[in-house]
């Protein structure tokens, strides 16, 4: 008996064990990623803060706002504010970031504002070279351009954002990924009636924030993409929560969060009615940074604002066990990028040793 023959059974056993140990194929073939800019974990986990509902925090109709979002318990308040996220996503998926559950979610870039946060979130690691919100090309590869280069994803990745810095964050001028950002109209010659209406309405709308469009335009463009082109990877970045918070308008901050939840609910319902998406789509919802915890500094974030490093994350999909609020697990914003890829069976960690591992959303 030769050495090769002698060791053949051992080799077969090792091969068989490696096949058994391999991860099973993912059921998810598509992924929807939605970010709600600067939305605090406090409102996310406990709902509206009644001590903030007054005229000093910019609230115009105090009684009506309390009627909309005021409830007796934190659980009831968060469900009143975010009925889809807490009534569907939390029950069928997983939630990270609740300090009360000893499960904090932190950003690690130390700066606590948007461009560094989106880089960490979508590229998988913080980068000290990114230290401002300036419109400069990101030197780092993001998870969306990685997926666009994988088999089956070519021309199936689309990006939408309210902020006009996203083309630089996602370096779409280099990777040529399709993006509609800021006050840009939906491009193309053969537009649908809805797309033409969105463009016409945008042209007639005052640019209240020169660099950030109202969420409704980004929502509409993203919905149109789903209906017309059925992308496998869709990123939607909503920004009104951050803008109204900076303006100390607690009422509009809450209403914008509620509208984000409504958009997610309606979009998810559409996806579940489409054979391409039903039972084959994962959802990731998160934010880029937190905010201050007090009546004075809840409007702010940044390196000098304590507590603005805490964020939250939600994951739902056919491969994610329904755990609800995860307890006793600390996670970081840098884990989101690899999670997005892993949800559709791709390994973003293999692209760079700095990329953080995925969130523990797949069970044992």
Q: What is the pLDDT of residue 22?
A: 56
| pLDDT tens, position by position, 332-346 | 999 999 999 999 999
User: Over 50: is that where the pLDDT of 15 sits?
Assistant: no
Q: CA angle, 357 as apex, 335 and 121 as ends, to 5°?
A: 20
| pLDDT tens, position by position, 279-318 | 999 999 999 999 999 999 999 999 999 999 999 999 999 9
Q: What is the pLDDT of residue 364?
A: 63
User: Over 70: is that where the pLDDT of 239 sits?
Assistant: yes
User: Over 70: is that where the pLDDT of 124 sits?
Assistant: yes
What ranges make up the beta strands (E) of 63-206? 94-96, 105-106, 157-161, 179-181
Q: What is the pLDDT of residue 144?
A: 99
211, 10 contact by CB (below 8 A): no
User: Over 60: is that where the pLDDT of 34 sits?
Assistant: yes
Output the 3-class SS for 74-126. Answer: HHHHHHHHCHHHHHHHHHHCEEECCHHHCCCEECCCCCCCHHHHHHHHHHCCC
Q: What is the pLDDT of residue 24?
A: 72
User: Over 60: is that where the pLDDT of 270 sits?
Assistant: yes
Any alpha helices (H) in 140-294, and if so which ranges? Answer: 143-148, 166-169, 172-175, 193-204, 215-229, 240-246, 250-272
Q: What is the pLDDT of residue 363?
A: 77
95, 325 contact by CB (below 8 A): yes
| pLDDT tens, position by position, 41-63 | 999 999 999 999 999 999 999 99
Q: What is the pLDDT of residue 12?
A: 42
Pick the range with the lowest mean pLDDT from 14-28, 41-55, 102-116. Answer: 14-28
Q: What is the pLDDT of residue 74?
A: 98
pLDDT band at 25 (very low <50, low <70, confident <90, very high): confident
User: Over 80: is that where the pLDDT of 125 sits?
Assistant: yes
| pLDDT tens, position by position, 55-102 | 999 999 999 999 999 999 999 999 999 999 999 999 999 999 999 999
Q: What is the pLDDT of residue 14?
A: 42
User: Nearest CA to 292 among 55, 18, 57?
Assistant: 57
**In the 8-state DSSP scheme, what is residue 317?**
-
29, 236 contact by CB (below 8 A): no
Residue keyed to tokens 């913080």 = 126
- Beta strand 310-311 with 94-96: parallel, antiparallel or unpaired? unpaired
Q: How many residues does the chain have?
A: 364
What ranges make up the beta strands (E) of the chain? 30-36, 94-96, 105-106, 157-161, 179-181, 233-238, 281-286, 310-311, 313-316, 324-325, 331-332
Token digits for 249?
Answer: 């308008």
CA-based torsion, 13, 16, 18, 21: positive or negative: negative
Kindly list the structural domains of the chain, giving each domain's residue range(s) and its CATH number in brackets, ordered by start: 35-351 (3.40.720.10)
Phi, psi dihedrals of residue 243, rounded to the nearest 5°? -65, -45
Mean pLDDT of 251-263: 98
CA dist 100 and 88 (Å) reads 21
User: Over 50: is that where the pLDDT of 260 sits?
Assistant: yes
30, 317 contact by CB (below 8 A): no
3-class secondary structure, 238: strand
Q: Name beta bridge partners: 311.
A: 105
Q: Count CB-CB contacts under 10 A for residue 153.
A: 19
């Amino acid at each position: 008996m030769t050495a090769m023959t002698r060791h053949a059974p051992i080799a077969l056993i090792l091969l068989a064990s490696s096949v058994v140990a391999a991860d099973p194929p993912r059921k998810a073939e598509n992924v929807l990623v939605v970010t709600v800019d600067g939305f605090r974990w406090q409102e996310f986990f406990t709902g509206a803060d009644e001590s903030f509902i007054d005229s000093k925090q910019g609230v115009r109709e105090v009684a009506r706002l309390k009627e909309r979002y005021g409830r007796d318990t934190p659980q009831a308040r968060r469900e009143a504010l975010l009925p889809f996220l807490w009534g569907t996503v939390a029950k069928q998926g997983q939630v990270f970031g609740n300090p009360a559950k000893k499960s904090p979610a932190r950003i690690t870039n130390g700066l606590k504002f948007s461009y560094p946060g989106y880089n960490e979130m979508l590229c998988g690691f913080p980068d000290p070279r990114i230290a401002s919100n300036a419109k400069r090309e990101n030197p780092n590869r993001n998870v969306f351009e990685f997926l666009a280069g994988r088999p089956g994803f070519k021309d199936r990745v689309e990006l939408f954002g309210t902020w006009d810095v996203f083309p630089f964050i996602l370096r779409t001028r280099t990777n040529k990924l399709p993006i509609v950002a800021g006050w840009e109209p939906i491009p193309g010659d053969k537009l649908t009636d809805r797309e033409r209406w969105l463009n016409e309405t945008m042209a007639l709308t005052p640019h209240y924030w020169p660099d950030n469009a109202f969420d409704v335009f980004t929502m509409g463009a993203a919905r149109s993409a789903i209906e017309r082109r059925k992308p496998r990877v869709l990123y939607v970045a909503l920004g009104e929560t951050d803008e109204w918070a900076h303006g100390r308008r607690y009422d509009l901050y809450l209403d914008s969060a509620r509208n984000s939840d409504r958009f997610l609910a309606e979009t998810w319902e559409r996806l579940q009615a489409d054979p391409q998406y039903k039972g084959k789509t994962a959802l990731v919802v998160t934010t880029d940074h937190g905010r201050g915890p007090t009546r004075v500094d809840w409007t702010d974030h940044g390196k000098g604002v304590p507590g603005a490093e805490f964020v939250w994350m939600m994951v739902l999909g056919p491969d994610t066990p329904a755990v609800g609020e995860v307890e006793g697990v600390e996670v970081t914003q840098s884990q989101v990028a690899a999670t997005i890829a892993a949800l559709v069976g791709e390994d973003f960690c293999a692209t760079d040793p700095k990329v953080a591992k995925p969130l523990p959303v797949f069970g044992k």
